[in-house]
Amino acid sequence: MEIPTGCQTQITCLPILSSENQGWENIWLEEFQHPPGEGTSYYRDEHAICVSLAPRPVPLLQIQGGKSYTGLYGKGDLSITPAKTPFFARWDLEDHYLLIRIASDFIQHVARETIDTNTEQLELITEFRTRDRHIESIAMMLFSELKQENLGGRLYIESLANVLAVHLLRQYSAVKPRLTVYNGGLPQRQLIQILEYIDANLHEDIKLADLAQLLGMSQFHFSHLFKQAMGIAPYQYLLQQRIERAKQLLKKSDRSIIEIALVCGFNSHSHLSKQFRQITGMTPKAYRQN
């Protein structure tokens, strides 16, 4: 069956929520909710993962690259559509789902950093109605970030993108690659180098790529070794240090809260307040007055 490109639904194709304007790189998330209908899609440079949020199972007909599936999709069920694969779906009840798109060249980049074999031969496989708790968990963490206006920061999104890329390579490649995983944590010299860099650049939009490049290793391996050494992920440590810097400035300076927010790497007063309250149990203003 030849499937035309572009959205052909009888309803609007606009998502309820989208990360398009959130500054995310290499990975994007959209939330959709449609009445009964049908639609097609084609992503040339991105792999697509649909994760069902439907409160009750939805009867679906799906066609991907000449393969078809008919059956029920319940909450947590997902499908994987590799890049350059035409996709058609028809659903008989209102459907609610998350769409994750991850850049195919990013997958190749992660593969080159973590796999010794020829990465040009790596291809993702089509998957209909499957369950994968790991992907579902990543999808819900991305969804939480999207609903909270990306409060975890770019480092968090990049970390999730790397974890998802490695998982797709491990579990959904046509040829199963062997990924090297290093143990033992970062050596003390490298760890001190990273901690000093973070401390000196809290006001900047620190990227996972920046930290990994300092040590000349892949983002995936850096994240893995950092967590082994520190007991927490890089994005958690960065947020922790930003909150600690904000505490110091609130107690020892007369700077406004918005100025403190920007100096500590938060993008607004409300951004700082939400994170500060989540970690300390009080607002910055209350902490300063306490």
DSSP secondary structure code for residue 130 in this structure: E
Q: CA dihedral defined by 262, 266, 271, 272, rounded to 10 degrees?
A: -80
Q: What is the pTM of this model?
A: 0.80
Positive or negative, the CA dihedral 170, 173, 177, 182 is negative
- Find where tokens 């994750």 sit: 100
State which CATH number among 3.90.1150.10, 1.10.760.10, 1.10.10.60, 3.30.450.20 fits the domain covering 243-289: 1.10.10.60
User: In this structure, which topology does domain 17-171 adopt according to CATH?
Assistant: Jelly Rolls (2.60.120)
- Which one, of 24, 84, 88, lies nearest residue 50 by Cα? 88
What are the backbone angles phi and psi of residue 66, rounded to the nearest 5°? 90, -10
**Is residue 33 within 8 Å of 88, Cβ to Cβ?**
no
Q: What pLDDT shows up at residue 116?
A: 61
Domain ranges of the chain: 17-171, 188-231, 243-289
Q: Give 181's Cβ-side CA count (13 Å radius).
A: 11
3-state class percentages of the chain: helix first, strand second, coil last, to nearest 5: 45, 20, 35
Task: Report d(CA 275, CA 148) in Å as an integer.
Answer: 10
Can you say how many angstroms the Cα of residue 214 is from the centroid of all Cα atoms in its chain?
22
Concatenated DSSP letters of 219-278: HHHHHHHHHHHHSS-HHHHHHHHHHHHHHHHHHH----HHHHHHHTT-SSHHHHHHHHHH
List per-residue pLDDT tens for the chain, 290 residues long: 344 344 443 344 688 999 988 888 899 999 999 899 998 999 999 999 999 999 889 999 999 988 999 999 999 999 999 999 999 999 989 999 999 999 999 998 888 877 765 666 678 999 999 999 999 999 999 998 888 765 557 888 999 999 999 899 989 988 776 666 666 788 888 999 999 999 999 988 888 989 999 999 888 889 989 988 888 889 889 999 999 999 999 999 999 999 999 999 888 888 889 889 888 999 999 999 88
